[in-house]
Structure 1
Amino acid sequence: MPTVPNQPETPAAPPILARLRAETRPYHDALEAGAFNEALRAGAPTAAGTAHFLERMYGFLQPYETALRQHEADFGPAWQLPQRFRAPLILEDLGRAATDSGLPLCPDMPPLHTRPQLLGAMYVLEGSTLGGQVITRQLEKAGIPLRRYFAGYGERTGPMWKAFCHLLTEAATSDTADEIVASAALTFQCLAAWINKP
């Protein structure tokens, strides 16, 4: 499954997006090497494996989204942050109450204290909405009940991704680009370690 797919190179790609694709590719590939992805590629996903993957994703998304909410004022309405909070969808998919999920949270999150750090993490987690489309098709083939989380933003997934890339390109400066790219790389690494943990 391309959990967080790198987008195809285009000659007109803005510098920050080109850097993010190129410099995070090894970490993106490592994230894809997990058991859940292997099961999807083999056409053999299971309900238990899907639930386990969702539990792990919640454990990462919940602290990430908490940090993003704390900095919501630094972004503004154009970013549509309330629509981008997806951890509650996982709780719905798993039939768990929002007030008492009982799910473990990732203990080794990347730093999410500055706007550039959050932008790097957003690149990774917004990109995962595109991979979710692939997973949905695989689950459907395997007869596994579909989950809302994997649907991304539904028909708006593409436009939401494009809007994010546009905003990220505008937000990145020569002073912040290195921090954004470093944060994205570290987010991939931390997420892979957490998702693929035995």
Structure 2
Amino acid sequence: MSVSAASLPILTRLRQQTRAAHDALEQQEFNRALATGTLTEAATHRFLAKLYGFVVPFEKQLRLHAAEFGPEWELERRARAHLLGQDLSQAEHLPLAPQMPPLHTRVQLLGALYVLEGSTLGGQVIARQLAQAGIPARAYFSGHAGHTGSLWKSFTALLTEAATPELADDIVASALLTFQRLHEWIESDTY
């Protein structure tokens, strides 16, 4: 990486260096069907089931490392696996992603949090598109509802503060791997 890239603010680096992986994730089947107006109830259920299989193990690891974060991170408030449970009948019987990104350190969790917290913003867009398609609202996509913007802003402020120059490369690497593993899991045949 060039010296100039390393000196960029963490949010700029995250956006720039994960753009291709983020774009690839947005091109998967659910989003294509949503964009073309061909989304079905079954495809929505499958997508939510895939998200459940990724979000549940992520949040489990986050809870295991919660002591490494202060109360200002509001980790319990940010949790959304329970919303997927509301959206899916018998969610507890759904398969979990077998290949999660490493989530054993605070730095790894910060990168993954960037991806999953950012998905709350995308969820707001998806919720509107589902309504336009006549597909019933889903709790997961509504996420934090009216608090989504303020929670995102507080998250980005905390991340900016936590991302010291020594940690920034590892945070970006974790975010990139999280996007990649999530994409692989969503595209896999496991369901």
What residue in structure 1 maps to residue 5 of structure 2? none
Letter in 2 for 1:177: A
Corresponding residue number in structure 2 for 1:3 = none
Kindly indicate whether residue 22 of structure 2 is the aligned counterpart of residue 31 of structure 1.
no
**Counterpart position of 2:71:** 77
The residue identity in structure 2 corresponding to 1:88 is H
- With the length of structure 2 as denominator, give the TM-score of the two structures: 0.93
TM-score (norm 1): 0.90
Q: Which secondary structure state, in structure 2, belongs to the residue aligned with residue 44 of structure 1?
A: coil
The equivalent of 1:68 in structure 2 is: 62
| 1:113 paired residue among 104, 113, 127 | 104
Question: In structure 1, what is the Cα distance between the partners aligned to 2:104 and 2:161?
Answer: 20
Partner SS state of residue 111, structure 1 = coil
Report what 1:89 is aligned to: 83
Equivalents in 2 of 1:133, 1:144: separation in Å?
14
2:188 and 2:23 mapped to 1: Cα distance? Answer: 16
- Seq. identity, %: 60
Whether 1:103 and 2:97 are equivalent positions in the alignment is no
Residue 189 of structure 1 aligns to a residue whose secondary structure is: helix
| 8 Å contact kept, 1:45–1:138 | no
Q: Which amino acid aligns with 2:110?
A: L
* 1:152 equivalent in structure 2: 143
- For 1:43 and 1:184, how far apart are their aligned partners in 2? 30
Gaps of 5+ in 1: 1-13
Give, in angstroms, the shift of residue 44 of structure 1: 2.0
Q: Which has the higher helix share?
A: 2
For residue 118 of structure 2, the aligned residue among 114, 127, 140 is 127
Q: Could you list the per-position Cα deviations for residues 72-99 of structure 1 after superposition, in whole angstroms to 9, with x for gaps in the alignment?
A: 01101100000111111111111336xx
Amino acid at match of 1:178: D
- Taking the aligned partners of 2:186 and 2:79, their CA distance within structure 1 comes to 19
| Distance of 1:168 and 1:24 partners within structure 2 | 16
Q: RMSD over aligned Cα, in angstroms? A: 1.0
Partner of 2:53: 59
Among 13, 22, 25, the residue aligned to 1:19: 13
Look up the match of 1:10: none
Deviations 1:136-183 (A, max 9, x none): 111111111101000020000000000000000000111110100000
| Cα distance in 1 between the residues matched to 2:51 and 2:103 | 17
